[in-house]
Protein backbone atom coordinates (compact mmCIF):
# COMPACT_ATOMS: atom_id res chain seq x y z
CA UNK A 1 0.00 0.00 0.00
CA UNK A 2 1.93 3.04 -1.25
CA UNK A 3 1.13 6.74 -0.96
CA UNK A 4 -0.19 6.98 -4.51
CA UNK A 5 -2.72 4.22 -3.83
CA UNK A 6 -3.82 5.83 -0.55
CA UNK A 7 -4.24 9.19 -2.30
CA UNK A 8 -6.25 7.57 -5.08
CA UNK A 9 -8.60 5.86 -2.61
CA UNK A 10 -9.18 9.12 -0.73
CA UNK A 11 -9.90 10.94 -4.00
CA UNK A 12 -12.27 8.19 -5.16
CA UNK A 13 -14.09 8.48 -1.84
CA UNK A 14 -14.45 12.22 -2.38
CA UNK A 15 -15.88 11.59 -5.86
CA UNK A 16 -18.41 9.09 -4.54
CA UNK A 17 -19.41 11.42 -1.71
CA UNK A 18 -19.91 14.28 -4.15
CA UNK A 19 -22.09 12.06 -6.33
CA UNK A 20 -24.06 11.16 -3.22
CA UNK A 21 -24.64 14.84 -2.41
CA UNK A 22 -22.44 14.99 0.68
CA UNK A 23 -21.58 18.27 2.35
CA UNK A 24 -19.03 20.19 0.30
CA UNK A 25 -16.76 20.71 3.29
CA UNK A 26 -16.49 16.95 3.86
CA UNK A 27 -15.77 16.34 0.19
CA UNK A 28 -13.02 18.97 0.19
CA UNK A 29 -11.48 17.47 3.32
CA UNK A 30 -10.96 14.18 1.47
CA UNK A 31 -9.56 15.92 -1.60
CA UNK A 32 -7.19 18.02 0.51
CA UNK A 33 -6.06 14.88 2.34
CA UNK A 34 -5.49 13.15 -1.01
CA UNK A 35 -3.29 16.06 -2.11
CA UNK A 36 -1.36 15.97 1.17
CA UNK A 37 -0.77 12.22 0.90
CA UNK A 38 0.37 12.52 -2.71
CA UNK A 39 2.83 15.27 -1.87
CA UNK A 40 4.39 13.99 1.36
CA UNK A 41 7.69 12.13 1.28
CA UNK A 42 6.71 10.10 4.38
CA UNK A 43 5.94 6.43 3.67
CA UNK A 44 2.48 6.38 5.22
CA UNK A 45 2.11 2.61 5.23
CA UNK A 46 5.33 2.33 7.22
CA UNK A 47 4.25 4.85 9.87
CA UNK A 48 0.50 4.16 9.90
CA UNK A 49 0.67 2.62 13.37
CA UNK A 50 1.91 5.91 14.82
CA UNK A 51 -0.92 8.45 14.67
CA UNK A 52 1.42 11.24 15.81
CA UNK A 53 3.54 10.87 12.68
CA UNK A 54 0.42 11.02 10.50
CA UNK A 55 -0.85 14.12 12.30
CA UNK A 56 2.50 15.81 11.77
CA UNK A 57 1.80 15.91 8.03
CA UNK A 58 0.25 19.21 6.98
CA UNK A 59 -3.33 18.64 5.83
CA UNK A 60 -3.91 15.45 7.87
CA UNK A 61 -6.21 15.74 10.89
CA UNK A 62 -7.45 13.12 13.33
CA UNK A 63 -10.26 11.79 11.15
CA UNK A 64 -8.04 11.55 8.07
CA UNK A 65 -5.28 9.89 10.08
CA UNK A 66 -7.85 7.27 11.10
CA UNK A 67 -8.91 6.91 7.47
CA UNK A 68 -5.33 6.36 6.37
CA UNK A 69 -4.90 3.72 9.06
CA UNK A 70 -8.07 1.99 7.84
CA UNK A 71 -6.84 2.03 4.24
CA UNK A 72 -3.47 0.53 5.18
CA UNK A 73 -5.17 -2.14 7.31
CA UNK A 74 -8.03 -3.11 4.97
CA UNK A 75 -7.34 -1.64 1.54
CA UNK A 76 -10.44 0.57 1.64
CA UNK A 77 -12.67 2.79 3.78
CA UNK A 78 -16.09 1.99 5.28
CA UNK A 79 -17.70 5.07 3.69
CA UNK A 80 -16.22 4.16 0.31
CA UNK A 81 -17.45 0.58 0.62
CA UNK A 82 -20.94 1.75 1.55
CA UNK A 83 -21.13 4.08 -1.44
CA UNK A 84 -19.81 1.42 -3.81
CA UNK A 85 -22.50 -0.93 -2.51
CA UNK A 86 -25.13 1.74 -3.13
CA UNK A 87 -23.99 2.86 -6.58
CA UNK A 88 -21.69 0.14 -7.92
CA UNK A 89 -18.04 0.38 -8.99
CA UNK A 90 -19.12 1.35 -12.52
CA UNK A 91 -19.44 4.98 -11.44
CA UNK A 92 -15.68 5.10 -10.97
CA UNK A 93 -15.34 4.01 -14.60
CA UNK A 94 -17.66 6.80 -15.70
CA UNK A 95 -15.37 9.30 -14.00
CA UNK A 96 -12.55 8.21 -16.32
CA UNK A 97 -14.38 9.58 -19.36
CA UNK A 98 -13.43 13.08 -20.61
CA UNK A 99 -15.68 15.76 -19.17
CA UNK A 100 -17.35 13.39 -16.70
CA UNK A 101 -16.94 14.85 -13.24
CA UNK A 102 -18.92 13.86 -10.14
CA UNK A 103 -21.69 16.40 -10.83
CA UNK A 104 -22.31 14.99 -14.32
CA UNK A 105 -22.26 11.43 -13.03
CA UNK A 106 -24.74 12.41 -10.31
CA UNK A 107 -26.98 13.96 -12.97
CA UNK A 108 -26.97 10.73 -15.00
CA UNK A 109 -27.72 8.68 -11.89
CA UNK A 110 -30.59 10.90 -10.83
CA UNK A 111 -32.06 11.05 -14.33
CA UNK A 112 -31.84 7.39 -15.29
CA UNK A 113 -29.86 5.37 -12.74
CA UNK A 114 -26.97 5.18 -15.21
CA UNK A 115 -24.29 3.32 -13.27
CA UNK A 116 -21.65 2.19 -15.79
CA UNK A 117 -20.22 2.87 -19.24
CA UNK A 118 -22.39 0.29 -21.04
CA UNK A 119 -25.58 1.81 -19.61
CA UNK A 120 -24.38 5.29 -20.56
CA UNK A 121 -23.79 4.15 -24.15
CA UNK A 122 -27.29 2.64 -24.25
CA UNK A 123 -28.78 5.87 -22.89
CA UNK A 124 -27.02 7.87 -25.62
CA UNK A 125 -28.19 5.52 -28.37
CA UNK A 126 -31.76 5.68 -27.03
CA UNK A 127 -31.66 9.49 -26.95
CA UNK A 128 -32.33 9.63 -23.21
CA UNK A 129 -29.63 12.25 -22.55
CA UNK A 130 -31.26 14.86 -24.76
CA UNK A 131 -32.91 17.58 -22.74
CA UNK A 132 -30.88 16.98 -19.60
CA UNK A 133 -29.10 20.03 -18.12
CA UNK A 134 -25.66 20.66 -19.68
CA UNK A 135 -26.30 17.88 -22.21
CA UNK A 136 -26.30 19.61 -25.57
CA UNK A 137 -25.44 17.78 -28.80
CA UNK A 138 -21.75 18.69 -28.61
CA UNK A 139 -21.45 17.40 -25.05
CA UNK A 140 -23.23 14.16 -25.92
CA UNK A 141 -20.94 13.64 -28.92
CA UNK A 142 -17.92 14.32 -26.70
CA UNK A 143 -19.08 11.70 -24.21
CA UNK A 144 -19.80 9.23 -27.01
CA UNK A 145 -16.27 9.63 -28.39
CA UNK A 146 -14.88 9.29 -24.86
CA UNK A 147 -16.68 5.94 -24.52
CA UNK A 148 -15.20 4.75 -27.82
CA UNK A 149 -11.70 5.77 -26.75
CA UNK A 150 -12.14 4.11 -23.36
CA UNK A 151 -13.30 0.83 -24.88
CA UNK A 152 -10.29 0.80 -27.19
CA UNK A 153 -8.00 1.20 -24.19
CA UNK A 154 -9.59 -1.47 -21.99
CA UNK A 155 -6.98 -4.02 -21.02
CA UNK A 156 -4.12 -1.54 -21.37
CA UNK A 157 -2.39 0.16 -18.45
CA UNK A 158 -0.14 3.20 -18.38
CA UNK A 159 3.56 2.54 -17.93
CA UNK A 160 3.61 4.11 -14.46
CA UNK A 161 0.69 1.92 -13.31
CA UNK A 162 2.41 -1.23 -14.57
CA UNK A 163 5.71 -0.20 -12.97
CA UNK A 164 4.05 0.57 -9.64
CA UNK A 165 2.55 -2.94 -9.64
CA UNK A 166 5.92 -4.45 -10.57
CA UNK A 167 7.70 -2.57 -7.77
CA UNK A 168 5.20 -3.70 -5.14
CA UNK A 169 5.42 -7.32 -6.30
CA UNK A 170 9.21 -7.17 -6.39
CA UNK A 171 9.37 -6.01 -2.77
CA UNK A 172 7.05 -8.85 -1.76
CA UNK A 173 8.93 -11.53 -3.72
CA UNK A 174 12.39 -10.45 -2.59
CA UNK A 175 11.28 -10.92 1.01
CA UNK A 176 11.21 -14.68 0.47
CA UNK A 177 14.40 -16.56 1.19
CA UNK A 178 15.78 -18.27 -1.89
CA UNK A 179 14.69 -15.58 -4.35
CA UNK A 180 17.63 -13.52 -5.55
CA UNK A 181 16.39 -11.55 -8.55
CA UNK A 182 13.05 -10.27 -9.88
CA UNK A 183 13.01 -8.61 -13.31
CA UNK A 184 10.06 -7.15 -15.25
CA UNK A 185 10.08 -8.14 -18.91
CA UNK A 186 7.69 -7.53 -21.82
CA UNK A 187 6.30 -4.11 -22.71
CA UNK A 188 7.36 -2.60 -19.41
CA UNK A 189 11.02 -3.45 -19.90
CA UNK A 190 10.88 -2.11 -23.46
CA UNK A 191 9.48 1.14 -22.07
CA UNK A 192 6.24 1.15 -24.05
CA UNK A 193 3.82 3.85 -22.94
CA UNK A 194 1.22 1.19 -22.05
CA UNK A 195 1.27 -2.48 -21.08
CA UNK A 196 -1.35 -5.17 -21.59
CA UNK A 197 0.04 -7.42 -18.87
CA UNK A 198 3.02 -7.76 -16.59
CA UNK A 199 5.71 -10.44 -16.92
CA UNK A 200 7.99 -10.95 -13.91
CA UNK A 201 10.99 -13.28 -14.16
CA UNK A 202 12.16 -14.69 -10.82
CA UNK A 203 15.38 -16.59 -10.16
CA UNK A 204 17.24 -18.00 -7.17
CA UNK A 205 17.61 -21.33 -5.33
CA UNK A 206 13.87 -21.39 -4.63
CA UNK A 207 13.26 -21.48 -8.39
CA UNK A 208 15.48 -24.47 -9.19
CA UNK A 209 13.78 -27.20 -11.22
CA UNK A 210 11.85 -29.61 -9.04
CA UNK A 211 12.16 -27.30 -6.03
CA UNK A 212 9.57 -24.61 -6.71
CA UNK A 213 6.64 -25.69 -4.49
CA UNK A 214 7.38 -23.22 -1.69
CA UNK A 215 7.96 -20.35 -4.13
CA UNK A 216 4.72 -21.09 -5.99
CA UNK A 217 2.75 -21.07 -2.75
CA UNK A 218 4.44 -17.84 -1.66
CA UNK A 219 3.60 -16.10 -4.96
CA UNK A 220 0.02 -17.34 -4.78
CA UNK A 221 -0.33 -15.83 -1.29
CA UNK A 222 0.41 -12.28 -2.53
CA UNK A 223 -2.18 -10.03 -0.80
CA UNK A 224 -2.88 -8.00 -3.93
CA UNK A 225 -4.29 -10.90 -5.96
CA UNK A 226 -7.88 -10.32 -7.07
CA UNK A 227 -8.41 -13.65 -8.78
CA UNK A 228 -6.15 -16.58 -9.64
CA UNK A 229 -5.86 -17.58 -13.31
CA UNK A 230 -3.44 -20.49 -13.14
CA UNK A 231 -0.86 -22.01 -10.80
CA UNK A 232 1.72 -24.44 -12.13
CA UNK A 233 5.19 -25.71 -11.35
CA UNK A 234 7.03 -22.73 -12.85
CA UNK A 235 4.37 -20.07 -13.43
CA UNK A 236 1.68 -18.31 -11.41
CA UNK A 237 -0.83 -16.10 -13.23
CA UNK A 238 -3.40 -13.82 -11.63
CA UNK A 239 -5.26 -10.54 -11.91
CA UNK A 240 -4.74 -7.57 -9.62
CA UNK A 241 -7.70 -5.54 -8.41
CA UNK A 242 -7.35 -3.06 -11.29
CA UNK A 243 -7.56 -5.89 -13.85
CA UNK A 244 -3.87 -6.06 -14.73
CA UNK A 245 -2.80 -9.64 -15.48
CA UNK A 246 0.49 -10.71 -13.92
CA UNK A 247 2.53 -13.73 -14.98
CA UNK A 248 5.25 -14.68 -12.50
CA UNK A 249 7.75 -17.12 -13.99
CA UNK A 250 10.13 -19.07 -11.75
CA UNK A 251 13.38 -19.79 -13.58
CA UNK A 252 16.62 -21.65 -12.92
CA UNK A 253 19.49 -19.15 -12.92
CA UNK A 254 21.27 -20.93 -15.76
CA UNK A 255 18.51 -20.03 -18.27
CA UNK A 256 17.72 -16.56 -16.97
CA UNK A 257 19.30 -14.71 -19.92
CA UNK A 258 17.43 -16.71 -22.55
CA UNK A 259 14.13 -16.19 -20.74
CA UNK A 260 14.79 -12.47 -20.29
CA UNK A 261 15.54 -12.06 -23.99
CA UNK A 262 12.51 -14.10 -25.04
CA UNK A 263 9.94 -12.53 -22.73
CA UNK A 264 11.22 -8.99 -23.27
CA UNK A 265 10.34 -9.24 -26.96
CA UNK A 266 9.06 -7.63 -29.03
CA UNK A 267 7.52 -10.42 -31.07
CA UNK A 268 8.83 -8.89 -34.31
CA UNK A 269 12.34 -8.55 -32.85
CA UNK A 270 12.32 -12.17 -31.67
CA UNK A 271 11.14 -13.51 -35.03
CA UNK A 272 14.05 -11.86 -36.87
CA UNK A 273 16.51 -12.91 -34.16
CA UNK A 274 15.38 -16.55 -34.38
CA UNK A 275 15.80 -16.43 -38.15
CA UNK A 276 19.34 -15.17 -37.70
CA UNK A 277 20.02 -17.97 -35.22
CA UNK A 278 18.73 -20.60 -37.65
CA UNK A 279 20.97 -19.31 -40.44
CA UNK A 280 23.92 -19.69 -38.07
CA UNK A 281 22.98 -23.27 -37.14
CA UNK A 282 21.32 -22.48 -33.82
CA UNK A 283 17.87 -22.62 -32.30
CA UNK A 284 16.75 -19.88 -29.90
CA UNK A 285 14.07 -20.40 -27.25
CA UNK A 286 13.14 -19.12 -23.81
CA UNK A 287 15.45 -21.79 -22.37
CA UNK A 288 18.64 -21.36 -24.36
CA UNK A 289 20.50 -20.70 -27.57
CA UNK A 290 21.47 -24.22 -28.69
CA UNK A 291 23.12 -25.90 -31.65
CA UNK A 292 20.77 -27.46 -34.18
CA UNK A 293 22.95 -30.51 -34.84
CA UNK A 294 23.47 -31.82 -31.31
CA UNK A 295 21.22 -29.59 -29.12
CA UNK A 296 24.17 -28.51 -26.97
CA UNK A 297 23.65 -25.22 -25.15
CA UNK A 298 25.71 -22.34 -26.54
CA UNK A 299 24.43 -19.56 -24.26
CA UNK A 300 21.60 -19.12 -21.78
CA UNK A 301 22.68 -17.41 -18.55
CA UNK A 302 22.77 -13.78 -19.78
CA UNK A 303 21.40 -11.78 -22.69
CA UNK A 304 24.86 -10.49 -23.50
CA UNK A 305 26.12 -14.06 -24.06
CA UNK A 306 23.24 -14.82 -26.40
CA UNK A 307 23.69 -11.73 -28.57
CA UNK A 308 27.48 -12.22 -28.61
CA UNK A 309 27.04 -15.83 -29.78
CA UNK A 310 24.90 -14.47 -32.62
CA UNK A 311 27.78 -12.13 -33.55
CA UNK A 312 25.95 -9.02 -32.39
CA UNK A 313 26.20 -6.30 -29.80
CA UNK A 314 23.68 -6.34 -26.97
CA UNK A 315 21.17 -3.52 -27.42
CA UNK A 316 18.99 -1.75 -24.86
CA UNK A 317 15.51 -3.29 -24.56
CA UNK A 318 13.81 -0.02 -25.59
CA UNK A 319 15.23 -0.54 -29.10
CA UNK A 320 13.83 -4.02 -29.64
CA UNK A 321 10.95 -3.33 -32.01
CA UNK A 322 12.51 -4.59 -35.28
CA UNK A 323 13.20 -1.07 -36.49
CA UNK A 324 16.79 -1.71 -37.57
CA UNK A 325 18.31 -2.54 -34.19
CA UNK A 326 19.36 -6.06 -35.24
CA UNK A 327 21.18 -4.73 -38.29
CA UNK A 328 22.83 -2.01 -36.18
CA UNK A 329 23.93 -4.56 -33.57
CA UNK A 330 25.38 -6.82 -36.27
CA UNK A 331 27.39 -3.84 -37.60
CA UNK A 332 28.51 -2.94 -34.05
CA UNK A 333 26.87 0.48 -34.45
CA UNK A 334 24.28 0.53 -31.66
CA UNK A 335 24.08 4.18 -30.52
CA UNK A 336 24.68 5.24 -26.92
CA UNK A 337 21.16 6.20 -25.94
CA UNK A 338 20.30 9.14 -23.74
CA UNK A 339 20.12 8.57 -19.97
CA UNK A 340 18.38 10.52 -17.22
CA UNK A 341 21.76 11.63 -15.87
CA UNK A 342 22.41 13.49 -19.14
CA UNK A 343 19.63 16.03 -18.52
CA UNK A 344 20.83 19.28 -16.94
CA UNK A 345 17.66 21.39 -16.86
CA UNK A 346 13.89 21.12 -16.46
CA UNK A 347 12.24 24.05 -18.26
CA UNK A 348 8.48 23.48 -17.87
CA UNK A 349 6.98 23.81 -14.39
CA UNK A 350 4.32 25.69 -12.44
CA UNK A 351 4.19 27.22 -8.96
CA UNK A 352 1.53 28.44 -6.53
CA UNK A 353 1.24 31.57 -8.66
CA UNK A 354 -1.05 29.52 -10.94
CA UNK A 355 -1.97 25.86 -10.43
CA UNK A 356 1.23 24.51 -8.87
CA UNK A 357 1.59 23.45 -5.24
CA UNK A 358 4.98 24.88 -4.34
CA UNK A 359 6.81 28.20 -4.46
CA UNK A 360 9.59 29.29 -6.81
CA UNK A 361 12.16 28.71 -4.07
CA UNK A 362 10.81 25.23 -3.27
CA UNK A 363 10.92 24.21 -6.94
CA UNK A 364 14.49 25.50 -7.18
CA UNK A 365 15.55 23.55 -4.10
CA UNK A 366 13.95 20.44 -5.61
CA UNK A 367 15.97 21.02 -8.77
CA UNK A 368 19.17 21.25 -6.72
CA UNK A 369 18.28 18.02 -4.92
CA UNK A 370 17.86 16.36 -8.34
CA UNK A 371 21.27 17.58 -9.46
CA UNK A 372 19.91 20.01 -12.05
CA UNK A 373 21.88 23.04 -13.20
CA UNK A 374 18.83 25.10 -14.19
CA UNK A 375 15.05 25.24 -14.22
CA UNK A 376 12.49 27.51 -15.87
CA UNK A 377 9.30 28.66 -14.17
CA UNK A 378 6.61 28.65 -16.87
CA UNK A 379 3.22 29.61 -15.47
CA UNK A 380 -0.05 29.36 -17.36
CA UNK A 381 -1.48 32.50 -18.95
CA UNK A 382 -4.81 34.30 -18.65
CA UNK A 383 -6.90 32.23 -21.09
CA UNK A 384 -6.68 29.31 -18.63
CA UNK A 385 -8.76 31.02 -15.97
CA UNK A 386 -9.26 27.72 -14.13
CA UNK A 387 -5.52 27.66 -13.38
CA UNK A 388 -5.42 31.32 -12.26
CA UNK A 389 -3.40 32.07 -15.38
CA UNK A 390 -1.34 35.27 -15.51
CA UNK A 391 -2.26 38.45 -17.34
CA UNK A 392 0.41 40.85 -18.55
CA UNK A 393 0.68 42.78 -15.28
CA UNK A 394 0.99 39.67 -13.11
CA UNK A 395 3.42 38.08 -15.59
CA UNK A 396 5.81 41.02 -15.29
CA UNK A 397 5.56 41.00 -11.49
CA UNK A 398 6.16 37.25 -11.37
CA UNK A 399 9.13 37.59 -13.71
CA UNK A 400 10.65 40.04 -11.24
CA UNK A 401 10.12 37.61 -8.35
CA UNK A 402 11.75 34.78 -10.32
CA UNK A 403 14.84 36.90 -10.89
CA UNK A 404 14.98 37.83 -7.21
CA UNK A 405 14.91 34.16 -6.17
CA UNK A 406 17.50 33.41 -8.85
CA UNK A 407 19.85 35.89 -7.18
CA UNK A 408 19.22 34.25 -3.79
CA UNK A 409 20.46 30.93 -5.22
CA UNK A 410 23.98 32.43 -5.51
CA UNK A 411 24.86 30.15 -8.40
CA UNK A 412 23.64 26.88 -6.86
CA UNK A 413 21.07 26.67 -9.67
CA UNK A 414 19.93 29.05 -12.40
CA UNK A 415 16.21 29.94 -12.48
CA UNK A 416 15.02 31.06 -15.92
CA UNK A 417 11.93 33.18 -16.52
CA UNK A 418 9.20 31.74 -18.68
CA UNK A 419 5.54 31.24 -19.50
CA UNK A 420 3.44 28.45 -20.93
CA UNK A 421 1.39 30.70 -23.15
CA UNK A 422 -1.98 29.50 -24.41
CA UNK A 423 -2.57 28.98 -28.13
CA UNK A 424 -6.01 30.43 -28.81
CA UNK A 425 -8.49 28.92 -31.28
CA UNK A 426 -7.22 31.11 -34.13
CA UNK A 427 -3.53 30.41 -33.41
CA UNK A 428 -2.81 33.72 -31.70
CA UNK A 429 -1.22 33.77 -28.24
CA UNK A 430 -2.94 35.09 -25.12
CA UNK A 431 -0.03 37.29 -23.99
CA UNK A 432 1.38 40.50 -25.46
CA UNK A 433 4.56 40.11 -27.50
CA UNK A 434 6.18 42.87 -25.43
CA UNK A 435 5.98 40.63 -22.37
CA UNK A 436 6.99 37.45 -24.18
CA UNK A 437 10.09 39.14 -25.58
CA UNK A 438 11.43 39.64 -22.03
CA UNK A 439 11.34 35.95 -21.09
CA UNK A 440 14.06 33.31 -21.32
CA UNK A 441 11.67 30.47 -22.23
CA UNK A 442 8.30 30.74 -23.98
CA UNK A 443 6.35 27.50 -24.38
CA UNK A 444 3.22 27.62 -26.55
CA UNK A 445 0.58 24.95 -25.86
CA UNK A 446 -2.96 24.05 -26.90
CA UNK A 447 -5.33 23.68 -23.94
CA UNK A 448 -8.78 24.09 -25.51
CA UNK A 449 -10.90 23.60 -28.65
CA UNK A 450 -9.53 20.09 -29.15
CA UNK A 451 -12.28 19.15 -31.61
CA UNK A 452 -11.15 21.47 -34.42
CA UNK A 453 -10.83 19.77 -37.84
CA UNK A 454 -7.35 18.65 -38.86
CA UNK A 455 -6.71 21.47 -41.32
CA UNK A 456 -7.91 24.12 -38.87
CA UNK A 457 -5.93 22.70 -35.93
CA UNK A 458 -2.78 22.40 -38.05
CA UNK A 459 -3.09 25.99 -39.25
CA UNK A 460 -3.69 27.11 -35.68
CA UNK A 461 -0.50 25.50 -34.38
CA UNK A 462 1.55 26.64 -37.38
CA UNK A 463 0.47 30.22 -36.77
CA UNK A 464 1.43 29.95 -33.10
CA UNK A 465 4.95 28.62 -33.72
CA UNK A 466 5.37 31.39 -36.28
CA UNK A 467 5.36 33.92 -33.45
CA UNK A 468 9.06 34.85 -33.09
CA UNK A 469 8.91 34.72 -29.29
CA UNK A 470 7.90 31.04 -29.15
CA UNK A 471 10.85 28.80 -28.38
CA UNK A 472 9.17 25.49 -27.48
CA UNK A 473 5.94 23.83 -28.64
CA UNK A 474 4.48 22.19 -25.51
CA UNK A 475 2.87 18.71 -25.46
CA UNK A 476 2.35 19.05 -29.22
CA UNK A 477 -0.49 16.56 -29.87
CA UNK A 478 -2.51 17.12 -26.69
CA UNK A 479 -3.03 13.44 -25.98
CA UNK A 480 -3.66 11.96 -22.55
CA UNK A 481 -2.78 8.27 -22.58
CA UNK A 482 -5.79 5.93 -22.38
CA UNK A 483 -7.99 8.95 -21.66
CA UNK A 484 -7.91 11.37 -24.58
CA UNK A 485 -6.75 10.79 -28.14
CA UNK A 486 -4.44 13.30 -29.80
CA UNK A 487 -6.33 16.06 -31.53
CA UNK A 488 -6.49 16.00 -35.33
CA UNK A 489 -3.15 17.46 -36.44
CA UNK A 490 -0.72 17.12 -39.33
CA UNK A 491 2.10 16.39 -36.89
CA UNK A 492 4.66 15.98 -39.66
CA UNK A 493 3.91 19.42 -41.10
CA UNK A 494 4.16 21.01 -37.66
CA UNK A 495 7.45 19.29 -36.83
CA UNK A 496 8.98 20.23 -40.18
CA UNK A 497 7.93 23.86 -39.72
CA UNK A 498 9.36 23.90 -36.19
CA UNK A 499 12.64 22.58 -37.61
CA UNK A 500 12.69 25.41 -40.17
CA UNK A 501 12.01 28.08 -37.54
CA UNK A 502 14.31 26.69 -34.85
CA UNK A 503 11.40 26.03 -32.49
CA UNK A 504 12.02 23.04 -30.21
CA UNK A 505 9.31 20.42 -29.73
CA UNK A 506 8.67 19.18 -26.23
CA UNK A 507 8.56 15.64 -25.01
CA UNK A 508 6.33 16.03 -21.98
CA UNK A 509 7.53 13.30 -19.62
CA UNK A 510 4.38 13.22 -17.46
CA UNK A 511 3.26 9.55 -17.68
CA UNK A 512 -0.29 10.60 -18.53
CA UNK A 513 1.01 12.48 -21.59
CA UNK A 514 4.38 11.20 -22.93
CA UNK A 515 3.83 13.66 -25.76
CA UNK A 516 5.47 13.57 -28.32
CA UNK A 517 5.23 9.81 -28.81
CA UNK A 518 8.29 7.72 -29.63
CA UNK A 519 7.21 7.61 -33.28
CA UNK A 520 6.94 11.39 -33.53
CA UNK A 521 10.24 11.80 -31.70
CA UNK A 522 11.88 9.70 -34.41
CA UNK A 523 10.31 11.98 -37.00
CA UNK A 524 11.58 15.06 -35.18
CA UNK A 525 15.11 13.68 -35.20
CA UNK A 526 14.87 12.82 -38.90
CA UNK A 527 13.69 16.37 -39.63
CA UNK A 528 16.50 17.92 -37.62
CA UNK A 529 14.03 19.42 -35.19
CA UNK A 530 15.26 20.41 -31.75
CA UNK A 531 13.85 18.38 -28.84
CA UNK A 532 13.44 19.27 -25.16
CA UNK A 533 12.29 16.86 -22.44
CA UNK A 534 10.29 18.43 -19.60
CA UNK A 535 8.36 17.20 -16.58
CA UNK A 536 5.57 19.83 -16.55
CA UNK A 537 5.99 19.66 -12.77
CA UNK A 538 3.24 21.07 -10.58
CA UNK A 539 4.92 20.00 -7.33
CA UNK A 540 8.44 19.50 -6.05
CA UNK A 541 8.46 15.71 -6.17
CA UNK A 542 7.94 15.78 -9.95
CA UNK A 543 10.83 18.15 -10.73
CA UNK A 544 13.41 16.18 -12.71
CA UNK A 545 11.29 13.00 -12.65
CA UNK A 546 12.15 11.84 -16.16
CA UNK A 547 12.08 8.06 -15.98
CA UNK A 548 9.05 7.39 -18.18
CA UNK A 549 9.88 10.15 -20.63
CA UNK A 550 13.50 9.06 -20.95
CA UNK A 551 12.30 5.63 -22.03
CA UNK A 552 10.35 7.18 -24.89
CA UNK A 553 13.44 9.10 -26.01
CA UNK A 554 15.42 5.86 -25.90
CA UNK A 555 12.69 4.08 -27.88
CA UNK A 556 13.18 6.78 -30.52
CA UNK A 557 16.95 6.04 -30.50
CA UNK A 558 17.78 9.53 -29.25
CA UNK A 559 21.21 10.31 -27.85
CA UNK A 560 22.23 13.10 -25.51
CA UNK A 561 23.22 15.18 -28.54
CA UNK A 562 19.62 15.11 -29.81
CA UNK A 563 18.12 16.80 -26.73
CA UNK A 564 18.73 20.48 -25.99
CA UNK A 565 18.50 20.39 -22.23
CA UNK A 566 21.46 18.07 -21.97
CA UNK A 567 23.42 21.30 -22.52
CA UNK A 568 24.55 23.66 -19.79
CA UNK A 569 22.42 26.75 -19.26
CA UNK A 570 24.41 29.13 -21.48
CA UNK A 571 24.65 26.60 -24.29
CA UNK A 572 20.98 25.75 -23.88
CA UNK A 573 19.87 29.36 -24.21
CA UNK A 574 22.25 29.85 -27.11
CA UNK A 575 20.83 26.83 -28.93
CA UNK A 576 17.24 28.04 -28.56
CA UNK A 577 15.45 29.88 -31.33
CA UNK A 578 16.97 33.29 -32.00
CA UNK A 579 14.51 36.14 -31.70
pLDDT at 308: 97
pLDDT at 41: 73
Question: Over 70: is that where the pLDDT of 410 sits?
Answer: yes
Question: Over 80: is that where the pLDDT of 498 sits?
Answer: yes
Can you spell out the DSSP letters for 333-387?
A: -------GGG--EE--B--TTTT-SS-HHHHHHHHHHTT-SEEEEEEEBTT-GGG
pLDDT at 153: 66
- Mean pLDDT over 289-302 rounds to 95
CA 537 to chain CA mean position, Å: 12
Distance, in Å, from the CA atom of 418 to the CA atom of 414, rounded to the nearest integer, reads 13
Fold matches, 3-87 and 157-245: no
CB 269 within 8 A of CB 263: no
pLDDT at 241: 81
pLDDT at 317: 98
pLDDT at 355: 93
Question: Over 70: is that where the pLDDT of 330 sits?
Answer: yes
Q: Which fold has domain 3-87?
A: DNA polymerase; domain 1 (1.10.150)
pLDDT at 2: 76
Question: Over 90: is that where the pLDDT of 242 sits?
Answer: no
Q: Which fold has domain 257-330?
A: Beta Polymerase; domain 3 (3.30.210)
Distance, in Å, from the CA atom of 517 to the CA atom of 475, rounded to the nearest integer, reads 10
Give the percent of the chain with pLDDT over 90.
Answer: 75
Question: Over 70: is that where the pLDDT of 486 sits?
Answer: yes
Question: Which of the residue ranges 98-102, 150-154, 294-298, 446-450 would you say has the lowest mean pLDDT?
Answer: 150-154
- Mean pLDDT over 483-497 rounds to 92
What is the largest distance, in Å, between two alpha-carbon atoms of the chain?
Answer: 80
Most confident of 33-42, 54-63, 414-423: 414-423
- Mean pLDDT over 118-127 rounds to 87
Question: Over 90: is that where the pLDDT of 15 sits?
Answer: yes
- Mean pLDDT over 342-350 rounds to 98
- Mean pLDDT over 151-175 rounds to 90
Question: Over 70: is that where the pLDDT of 216 sits?
Answer: yes
- pLDDT tens for residues 500-543? 999 999 999 999 999 999 999 999 999 999 999 999 999 999 99
**Residues with Cβ within 8 Å of residue 227, at least 6 apart in sequence:** 238, 239
| 122 band by pLDDT with thresholds 50, 70 and 90 | confident
The helix (H) or strand (E) run that includes residue 397 is: helix 392-408
- Mean pLDDT over 318-345 rounds to 96
pLDDT at 265: 92
pLDDT at 1: 66
Residue 22 or 149, more confident = 22
Please give the class, per CATH, of domain 157-245: alpha beta
pLDDT at 4: 78
Question: Over 90: is that where the pLDDT of 115 sits?
Answer: no
Distance, in Å, from the CA atom of 554 to the CA atom of 533, rounded to the nearest integer, reads 12
Question: Over 90: is that where the pLDDT of 376 sits?
Answer: yes
Q: Output the CA–CA distances (angstroms, integers) from residue 45 to 13, 34, 75, in the order listed.
A: 19, 14, 11
CA neighbor of 421 nearest in space, from 386, 449, 392, 455: 392
CATH of 340-575, one of 2.60.40.790, 3.10.310.30, 3.20.20.140, 3.40.50.300: 3.20.20.140
- Mean pLDDT over 214-242 rounds to 92
Mean pLDDT of the chain: 93
Query: Domain map of the chain by residue range?
Result: 3-87, 157-245, 257-330, 340-575
- Mean pLDDT over 159-179 rounds to 95
Question: Over 80: is that where the pLDDT of 212 sits?
Answer: yes
pLDDT at 99: 74
Q: Output the CA–CA distances (angstroms, integers) from residue 58 to 66, 244, 525, in the order listed.
A: 15, 34, 45
Residue 548 or 4, more confident = 548
Question: Over 80: is that where the pLDDT of 98 sits?
Answer: no
- Mean pLDDT over 68-83 rounds to 91
Amino acid sequence: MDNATIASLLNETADLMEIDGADGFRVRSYRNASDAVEQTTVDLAAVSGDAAQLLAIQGIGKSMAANIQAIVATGSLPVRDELLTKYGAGLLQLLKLPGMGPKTVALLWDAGKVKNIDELAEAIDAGRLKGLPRMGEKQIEKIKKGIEDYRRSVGRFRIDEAEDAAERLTIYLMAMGGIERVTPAGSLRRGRETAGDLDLLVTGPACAQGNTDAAVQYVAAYPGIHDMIAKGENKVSFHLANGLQVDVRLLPSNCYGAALQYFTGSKAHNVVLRQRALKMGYTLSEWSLSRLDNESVVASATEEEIYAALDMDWMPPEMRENLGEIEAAAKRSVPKLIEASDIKGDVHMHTTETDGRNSILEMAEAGIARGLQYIAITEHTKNLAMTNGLDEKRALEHMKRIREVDKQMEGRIRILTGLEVDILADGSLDMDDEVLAQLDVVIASVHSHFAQPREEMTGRVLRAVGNPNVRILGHPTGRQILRREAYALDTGAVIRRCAELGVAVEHNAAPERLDLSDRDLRLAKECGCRIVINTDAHMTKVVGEWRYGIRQLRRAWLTAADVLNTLGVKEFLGAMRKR
